[in-house]
C-alpha cells in the first residue's frame, strides 16, 4: 500500500542489491526512481544502504608552460662526451637528440628515437644529410639560426626558439639547445642538439633569441 508511512516492506531484495552494488549514474537514478514508491526519496534510500554521494570531479587542464620548458631544458646538461652520445645512452634519454659533424653543412651522424618521433625521419634516411635541409623551411629565422651556429663554432652552448618543420611539413616551434661534444683530450668531435616542441613561444619573454644557454 503506497499510502502507508511504513516503507520498509516496499523495498524488495532486488532493489537493495542494486542500490548496494551500483555505480551511480543518471541512467541508474532514473531506473530506480521509476521502480520506487513515491514517498521514498532516492537520496535517502541510497544513504540508508551506504551508497556514496556522487562527487563531481573536474580533471585539471593540462597546459604546456613554455617558460617552464625553457628553464628545465636550460638546467639539464647537454650530452657533451663520447660516452654521452653512445647509441645506448642516447636511446635511454627521453629528449629528442641529434648529433652532427662539426663543419658546415653539419651533416647528421646520429639521432635517437625521440628525435625520430618528433621530426618524422628515420635515422637511416637522415644520416649524412645536412640538418638544416631536414628541419628548416619558409618561416625559419635564418638570422637566429646563423647566430646559433656562430656561438656553437666558438665552442659555446647556445639556445634559441626556431620555427622548424617535420618530414610531413608540419610546422612547430622548436626550443633547441646545441653544444660541442668533446673527446678525452677535450677536442670537439661533434655537435649535439636537443630539441623540444613548445606550444606558445610568445609566452617566453626572456627566452634567448640567439646565443646564450
pLDDT of amino acid 76 = 84
Positions in the chain short of pLDDT 50:
1-11, 15-16, 18-20, 22, 24-26, 47-49, 51-71, 73, 204-213
Q: Is the bond preceding residue 105 a cis peptide, omega within 30 degrees?
A: yes
Written as nine digits, the cell of 142 is 635564418
pLDDT of amino acid 43 = 54
141 three-state secondary structure: coil
pLDDT of amino acid 87 = 85
Phi, psi of 193 (to 5 degrees): -130, 135
pLDDT of amino acid 179 = 97
**Residue pair 79/93 in contact by the 8 Å Cβ criterion:** yes
Residue in 75, 93, 76 with CA at minimum distance from that of residue 84 = 93
Residue in 169, 167, 176, 164 with CA at minimum distance from that of residue 120 = 167
Q: Distance between alpha carbon 175 and the CA centroid of its chain, in Å?
A: 14
Written as nine digits, the cell of 85 is 652520445
pLDDT tens digits along 35-75: 656 655 555 555 444 544 444 444 444 344 444 444 454 56
Amino acid at each position: 500500500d503506497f499510502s502507508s508511512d511504513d516503507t520498509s516492506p516496499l523495498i524488495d531484495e532486488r532493489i537493495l542489491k542494486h542500490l548496494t552494488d551500483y555505480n551511480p549514474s543518471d541512467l541508474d537514478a532514473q531506473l530506480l526512481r521509476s521502480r520506487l514508491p513515491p514517498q521514498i526519496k532516492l537520496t535517502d534510500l541510497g544513504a540508508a544502504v551506504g551508497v556514496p554521494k556522487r562527487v563531481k570531479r573536474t580533471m585539471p587542464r593540462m597546459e604546456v608552460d613554455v617558460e617552464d620548458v625553457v628553464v628545465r631544458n636550460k638546467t639539464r646538461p647537454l650530452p657533451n662526451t663520447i660516452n654521452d652520445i653512445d647509441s645506448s645512452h642516447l636511446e635511454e634519454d627521453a629528449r629528442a637528440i641529434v648529433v652532427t659533424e662539426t663543419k658546415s653543412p653539419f651533416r647528421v651522424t646520429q639521432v635517437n628515437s625521440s628525435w625520430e618521433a618528433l621530426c618524422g625521419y628515420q635515422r637511416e634516411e637522415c644520416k649524412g644529410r645536412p640538418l638544416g635541409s631536414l628541419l628548416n623551411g619558409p618561416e625559419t629565422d635564418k638570422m637566429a639560426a646563423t647566430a646559433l651556429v656562430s656561438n656553437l663554432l666558438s665552442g659555446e652552448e647556445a639556445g634559441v626558439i626556431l620555427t622548424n618543420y617535420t618530414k610531413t611539413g608540419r610546422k612547430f616551434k622548436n626550443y633547441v639547445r646545441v653544444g660541442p661534444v668533446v673527446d678525452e683530450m677535450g677536442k670537439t668531435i661533434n655537435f649535439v642538439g636537443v630539441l623540444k616542441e613548445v606550444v606558445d613561444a610568445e609566452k617566453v619573454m626572456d627566452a634567448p633569441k640567439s646565443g646564450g644557454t
